[in-house]
Structure 1
Amino acid sequence: MSGCTLRFERNSPLRTTLVDEATRRAKYRIETPVKVARSVTRITKFESPTPLHRDEEADSGCGKEQNKIETESHEAGYEIARIYWKWFSPNRIIFNGKVTTRRESLPRCGKLKGTRSFIFTGPDGVQYRWALGAMGLDPSKLVTADEKKTVIAEFHHAQHYINKQKAKLEVQSAGIDMLDYIILTFVIVEQTRRERIGCI
């Protein structure tokens, strides 16, 4: 089984659609209402990846094209997780019908060059660690929490000035079987990172 690359249609861990670059179809949708506090993030998965409908419109003000991405309604997805935020910190998580807290399921595990990392146990019983990229310049990496530190996934931040590339999450073949876990934990750690540096 090969890995996959998921492209973020919007540069937000809380409000975006993740598109499989190989098939150009939506794989996950992440939705969060805009509230000051107590927002709920819902993660929807499309088991049969949803085709995207693109409607390009010229932006008369700047002369740029604006892409509108919509999922086709006949390819309904199903909700895999909810994250309940309280003052920018997830205090309750529902994942595959199980209720936990962030401290229980994704505790912090110290500091690395001024940034924090988070650890969790995958469905295979192996421990994994999210190491956050410093100030958003370096990619954040999901690695095995052992001496080998095998890279399972890597998040590349959006590039607005160089090649105007959208953010993307590269998942190695070893992470495909726990892709839902990777998406859920990524949303939490990336939003936490952005809150810490004041970039929402």
Structure 2
Amino acid sequence: MGVLRVKSFSTDTIRFTLSSENVRNTVITNERGQIIYKTDTPFRFCTRITTIYKIKPNTGWSRRDQFDVVGEIEWHKLTSSRFHFGGTEVATKKFIPSRGFTGRKRIFTGPDGHSYRWDLKSNIVVKNWSQTELARSHRKTLGIIGRKRKAMLEVSPEVAHMMDTVIMTFIYVEKLRMDKEEAANNAAVG
């Protein structure tokens, strides 16, 4: 198995904290605690839809946060889930197909035309041709060993121009990772 060599993040790294590891219903804040994104997935018996919102710049006197819809993820179990963003709709199997023997790598093309890869096992996104680490997620820790920490997503400023795409694809692959982990745990118990 190959080793993924990456350069470490700089001090300019953008750090987001998630209010919950349930990425379909979470609030994503910056280091100052300001809400930047939030996700909402109402309960439904059939197809569930996660809406991803981004804070709008506050230009008036109102103190209430206002949000724009970045996109939606329409979750399907038997067919390909779908992304809705920028006035388009695309199947996830076309936008971010799985690669590798175990299907734990997801490749997508960013709005800049470059190819990127999320690795579900280590929760990172790298620029395919350079193997440069551009984002990494961290699960929450309880503080039993080390310090207590909420779930986090670190993003390199190199991809700040496509942050909405990074957030949307992160939510998708993190949900897939959680589902695979849950299935493995259920198989071990049952």
TM-score range, shorter chain: 0.7 to 0.9
Hey, what does 1:131 align to over in structure 2?
Answer: 119
How high is the TM-score relative to the length of structure 1?
A: 0.77
More strand by percentage: 1
Distance in 2, Cα, partners of 1:132 & 1:115: 9
Distance in 2, Cα, partners of 1:168 & 1:37: 30
Q: Give unmatched runs, 5+ long, in structure 1.
A: 50-71, 134-138
Q: Give 1:164's match in structure 2, choosing from 119, 134, 148.
A: 148
How far is 1:36 from its partner? Answer: 4.4
Question: May I ask how many residue pairs the two structures share in their alignment?
Answer: 168
Q: Give 2:73's match in structure 1, choosing from 70, 74, 83.
A: 83
How far is 1:90 from its partner? Answer: 5.2
CA contact (8 A) 1:3 1:174 kept: no
Hey, what does 2:49 align to over in structure 1?
Answer: 40
Q: Give 2:128's match in structure 1, choosing from 117, 124, 145.
A: 145
Instruction: String of CA shifts for 1:142-191, please: whole Å, max 9, x gaps.
Output: 00112x30011010111124333111000011011110000000111110
Q: Give unmatched runs, 5+ long, in structure 2.
A: 1-11, 184-190
Q: 1:89 to 1:28 in 2, by over 3 A?
A: farther
Give, as a single letter, the amino acid of the residue that structure 2 aligns with 1:48: P
The 5 Å alignment of 1:88-107 reads 91-107=81-97
Distance in 2, Cα, partners of 1:174 & 1:88: 36
Distance in 1, Cα, partners of 2:163 & 2:79: 23
How high is the TM-score relative to the length of structure 2?
A: 0.81
Hey, what does 2:169 align to over in structure 1?
Answer: 185
Give, as a single letter, the amino acid of the residue that structure 2 aligns with 1:153: A
Q: Work out the percentage of aligned pairs sharing the same amino acid.
A: 28
Distance in 2, Cα, partners of 1:73 & 1:7: 22
Distance in 2, Cα, partners of 1:88 & 1:42: 21
How far is 1:75 from its partner? Answer: 2.0
Structure 1 vs Structure 2 CA RMSD = 2.2
